[in-house]
Structure 1
């Protein structure tokens, strides 16, 4: 129950986004603009601010990054193993495979902050930022053979990757942000979490799942249960403890990112099928995240 209460404010914002999109702010252009603002301005400001100013032990972060890398690749591989269950053409399968390993950064930062404050946000920001390039390479490479896209170009202009690298470099260089600059970035970051979660809710879509239901259930099980279970085992095996261990398991247990739908549509993939999986994983994550957070204590 305590874990569920921890998640309640953030998932309430997602629910509010659903209601606003259906009944008050119904224009697609408005939500597209909000998503763009969060993605290109507010969220990069949050990541840069916490990574530039938080105390980060770069030597101890290597096992965390290595574990995150392994868990993400495992999610991709496990999702691929479910292909016979899908009953889908290659491009539709490539679109949906993203939902087995891509992660919702907005939910990640919100919950990490609740668990461990600024250090939790900084740790999740560093881990998520480090995993964004790999997730994008896997997704874009799979779709590029059927649609259009250039993995290197996608990464070079990804604002989350750029903000993460800039923040880590600033921190490693021993530099300090001036107080007015830090306050300015903090205000942008505060807006990022609330607007980002509202945008997640507004982006949820339901419709026909398509293909075989067993295939969709497999992808959801990989994302919400198998990946965090692997993260738990790997973290213990490598001796990862404390905040880093909690963040690793939370990272692995996150629902699928709404950007998977955007990429599928932009590259000629199965947008409706991906939208269904994102919506299902977000809804089911209320229970699955409560389960994993309860185990973390």
Structure 2
């Protein structure tokens, strides 16, 4: 499978946003409004629809849910622990770490949804929907907590206001209750969600300042290493602990290795942190996905029986 070809659209949109912001009249003031539109409306709509429209069989996927959530907890704990590592902790800015820790465990749901059907087939969409529904609230809680703490904002208040958590939990609740989007409304909802993908990636590119990455090299290497090397290993371990079958193991490995979420940048910027640095990490993560996906699905997949 050509992962470079799969990830090129995301990377090219980041590059387009970067060039538009710097070479045209569409400057940062314009893209700040795009950030808000994506974060508060477009992307939550995408998450809601992706969960509502995918059948959830909780009985058959209880092991996958346990493995996914356990992997999420380990990933969040590792990202939080970076300031306490020998040598590394002395070279980290705690506020920058608060904004960047999320890069080490969050994932790009669009790439996951696009990839799983090619790797596993239609059954994969059901399995990835389960992981998205249960792990996105957990990942977003992990993303918000350090930023709310360092910004001295109420953690519970920030969670209740987080549109990504609201969209995901509403989608999960609707699915479990058997509620569906009316057929006449679904095309509109689908187009709103699709718009978030292009605009979110372009906004990340517009907010990126490549020079900012040099200001905290150790932090960048640490969170990206967790995301693209350590997390797939954790996923393989959890697949064995929860005795997942070959298909579920492959989906979990893919879930662990896709690039980080483009909304990492939007969340950091919306909460008053260094969005430019986080946008740079999002860009590098998109590129590193070309290495971590073959590593997870090829090398580790063979070890896990996938």
| TM-score (ref. length: structure 1) | 0.81
1:271-290 CA distance string (max 9 Å, x none): 55544433433332333234
Q: Separation in 1 of the partners of 2:266 and 2:197?
A: 20
Structure 2 equivalent of residue 281 of structure 1: 285
Task: Check whether the contact 1:146–1:268 (CA below 8 A) recurs between aligned residues.
Answer: no
Write the distance in 2 (CA, Å) between the matches of 1:27 and 1:74: 39
Aligned equivalents of 2:230, 2:260: Cα separation in 1: 14
1:141-220 equivalent positions in 2, closer than 5 A: 141-209=145-213, 213-220=217-224
Question: How far apart in 1 are the matches of 2:21 and 2:123?
Answer: 33
Unaligned runs of 5+ in 2: none
Aligned position for 2:6: 6
What are the Cα deviations for residues 200-237 of structure 1, in whole angstroms up to 9, with x where unaligned? Answer: 33333312446664443222211111001211231244
Superposition pairs for residues 1-297 of structure 1, below 5 Å? 2-24=2-24, 26-83=26-83, 84-86=87-89, 87-112=91-116, 115=119, 120=124, 123-209=127-213, 213-241=217-245, 244-264=248-268, 269=273, 273-295=277-299
RMSD over aligned CA atoms reads 3.2
Q: 2 CA distance for matches of 1:47 and 1:256?
A: 15
Offset from partner CA, 1:1-27 (integer Å, 9 cap, x none): 623333333333333333333334632
Q: TM-score, normalised by structure 2?
A: 0.79
Unaligned 5+ runs, structure 1: none
CA spacing shift, 1:124–1:93, aligned 2, 3 Å: same
CA contact (8 A) 2:105 2:260 kept: yes
What CA deviation, in whole Å up to 9, does each residue of 1:99-158 have, x standing for no partner?
Answer: 322334444444446546776556445423432332333333323443232222222122
Residue pair 1:110, 1:193 contacting (<8 A) in 2 also = no
| Residues in 2 aligned to 1:285 and 1:135: alpha-carbon distance in whole angstroms | 19
Distance 2:185 2:191 in 1: 10
